[in-house]
A and B are shown apart, each in its own frame.
Chain A
Amino acid sequence: MNNLALSNFLNSLERNGLLPAIANKEIQNFIGNQTKAVGKLFLVLAALIGATFISAGVFSIVSHNWDDFPKNVRGIISFIPVLAGIFVYYLAIFKHSKSTSWIEASSLFLMLMIGASMALVSQTYQMDGDIDFFIFVWLCLTIPLFYIARASGIAFFYLILACKFIVPHFGFSLFGPSDFSLNDKYYYFWFFLLGVLPHFYITLNKQGDKQGFRSIFLGWLLGIVFLIAMPIIVKSGYLWWSTAAVIGYYLLGKRFYGGNISSLGRPFQTISLVILYHTMIYFTIEKIFPYIFGSNDIREIGTWNDEQLSFYFLGLFLMITFTFIAVRQRLKGVELNRYIVLLPFLVVFLVGVHYLNEVFDFDMVSFACLFVNFYILGFGINALIKGRRFSNVLYMIYGLFIIANLMWVRYFDMDIAFWLKGLFFIGVGLIFLLIHRNSQDEFEA
Chain B
Amino acid sequence: MLPVLLKLTESDKRLLIAFLLVFILIFVIVGAIGYLIVRVMKWQGKRLDSCVSDVVYSRVITDKKTFSKYAHKKNWIIFYKAARIPVIIMLFSGIILVIRNLVYHDFSYDIFNKVNGFSTVLFLWNFDGMFILDPLTLSFTFNPPELVHSPEFVLAAWGSYVFVPGMAVGGLWYLWCAQSLISRTLRIKKLSESIFDKNLDKFNQNEQLMNSLNAGQAPLNSEAKPTEENKSLEK
| A in complex with B | no
